[in-house]
Structure 1
Amino acid sequence: MAERPDYINERGEFGHWEGDLVTGPRNGQNGAYLTLLERKTRFYYMISISSKSSKKVYMQINKLHKFYGNSFKDIFKSITFDNGNEFSRWKDMEIKPNTKEQRTKIYLGRPYHSCDRASNENCNALVRYFIKKGTDINTIDKKASIDINNKINQKKRKILGYLPAEKLFLDELTKINVTENTIFYKN
Structure 2
Amino acid sequence: MREGRRFGLSAEHKADIWRRWKLGESLKEIGRAFDKDHGSIQFMLSKHGGIAPAVRERSQRTLTLVEREEISRGIASGSSIREIAKGLERPASTVSREVVRNGGRSVYRASDADQRAWRSALRPKTCRLARHRKLRLIVASKLIRDWSPEQISGWLKRRYPNNGSMRVSHETIYRSLFIQARGVLKKELVQHLRSKRQIRRSVHAKAAGQSRGQIVDAISISERPAEINDRAIPGHWEGDLLSGSGNSHIATLVERHSRFTILVKVPSKDTATVVAALSRQVRKLPASLRRSLTWDRGLEMAKHKSFTVATKVDVYFCDPQSPWQRGTNENTDGLLRQYFPRKTDLSGYSQADLNKVALRLNQRPRKTLDFDTPASKLQASVASTH
TM-score when normalising by structure 1: 0.81
- 1:65/1:146 Cα in 2 relative to 1: closer, same or farther (>3 Å)? closer
Deviation at 1:174, TM superposition (A): 2.6
Aligned residue identity for 1:170: Q
Alignment partner of 1:118 out of 298, 320, 327: 327
Does 1:94 find its partner at 2:94?
no
- 1:134/1:80 Cα in 2 relative to 1: closer, same or farther (>3 Å)? same
Deviation at 1:36, TM superposition (A): 0.5
Deviation at 1:176, TM superposition (A): 4.3
Aligned residue identity for 1:18: E
- 1:57/1:156 Cα in 2 relative to 1: closer, same or farther (>3 Å)? same
Query: Is residue 37–residue 119 contact of structure 1 (8 Å, CA) maintained in 2?
Result: yes
- 1:143/1:64 Cα in 2 relative to 1: closer, same or farther (>3 Å)? closer
Does 1:173 find its partner at 2:364?
no
Aligned residue identity for 2:294: T
SS in 2 for 1:119: helix
Runs of 4+ aligned structure 1 residues displaced above 6 Å come to: none
- 1:63/1:143 Cα in 2 relative to 1: closer, same or farther (>3 Å)? closer
* Residues 40-119 of structure 1 aligned to structure 2 (within 5 Å): 40-68=257-285, 71-72=286-287, 74-96=288-310, 103-119=312-328
SS in 2 for 1:95: helix
Aligned residue identity for 2:303: R
- 1:158/1:65 Cα in 2 relative to 1: closer, same or farther (>3 Å)? closer
Q: RMSD across aligned C-alpha pairs, in angstroms?
A: 1.7
Which structure is richer in relative contact order (CA contacts within 8 A, separation 6 or more)?
Answer: 1
* Alpha-carbon distance in structure 2 between the residues aligned to 1:4 and 1:66: 21
Give the aligned partner of residue 236 of structure 2.
Answer: 16
Show CA shifts across 1:164-185 (max 9, x none). 00111112233345xxxxxxxx
Aligned residue identity for 1:77: R
Deviation at 1:157, TM superposition (A): 1.2
Alignment partner of 1:25 out of 220, 245, 249: 245
Show CA shifts across 1:28-51 (max 9, x none). x33x11101110111011111111
Deviation at 1:140, TM superposition (A): 2.5
| Paired residues, number | 166
Query: Is residue 123–residue 152 contact of structure 1 (8 Å, CA) maintained in 2?
Result: no
Does 1:34 find its partner at 2:251?
yes
Deviation at 1:111, TM superposition (A): 1.0
Query: Is residue 263–residue 358 contact of structure 2 (8 Å, CA) maintained in 1?
Result: yes
Give the aligned partner of residue 150 of structure 1.
Answer: 359
* Alpha-carbon distance in structure 2 between the residues aligned to 1:50 and 1:58: 12
Give the aligned partner of residue 183 of structure 1.
Answer: none
Aligned residue identity for 1:48: K
Give the aligned partner of residue 137 of structure 1.
Answer: 346
* Alpha-carbon distance in structure 1 between the residues aligned to 2:317 and 2:300: 12
Give the aligned partner of residue 159 of structure 1.
Answer: 368
Gapped runs of 5+ residues in structure 1?
97-101, 178-187
